[in-house]
Amino acid sequence: MNHLHTHRAPGAAPAATAGSLESSDDFDIIAAPRYCPTGLLQAFALLMAGRGRCVNTDMMLGDREYAMWQLACARATDDAELVTLAARLFFYFDDPLHSEIPVLGTA
């Protein structure tokens, strides 16, 4: 924990501090954002487009229900590559403990 350092006269008692300057000291972090490789997501969107389905990758990252629906549609196809890619992406979106936390894209 960090403490405030204040200047005081020699011999004076140290001033009481109200708390830490570190925001992380005041609470426990319950959940961290999840990260999804954007290359994987873009490949998924292109394969879905090739099958006539438009996928909004921003919505995939921000709306878990939308993402799960798109992944379910992909897994119901007869395209082995698309089914495999959807299964890989499913890992990034299927986490009930983090359902309220958006998924972030990484390069």
pLDDT tens digit sequence for 21-33 = 555 555 554 555 5
- Does residue 13 form part of some domain? no
- Does residue 65 form part of some domain? yes
Predicted confidence at residue 69, as pLDDT, reads 94
**Residue 71, token pair as written in the block:** 């992944």
Predicted confidence at residue 18, as pLDDT, reads 53
The total number of structural domains in the chain stands at 1
- Does residue 56 form part of some domain? yes
- Does residue 22 form part of some domain? no
**Tens digit of pLDDT for each residue in 31-71?**
555 678 889 999 999 999 999 999 999 999 888 899 999 99
- Does residue 11 form part of some domain? no
Residue 66 dihedral angles phi and psi, to the nearest 5°: -60, -45
Which domain covers residue 88, as residue numbers? Answer: 41-106
- Does residue 30 form part of some domain? no
For the full predicted model, state whether its pTM sits above 0.85: no
Mean pLDDT computed over 2-22? 55
- Does residue 25 form part of some domain? no
CB 90 within 8 A of CB 72: no
Backbone dihedral region for residue 88 (phi beyond 0: left; psi -120 to 50: alpha; all else: beta): alpha
Number of alpha carbons in the 13 Å side-chain half-sphere of residue 64? 17
- Does residue 36 form part of some domain? no
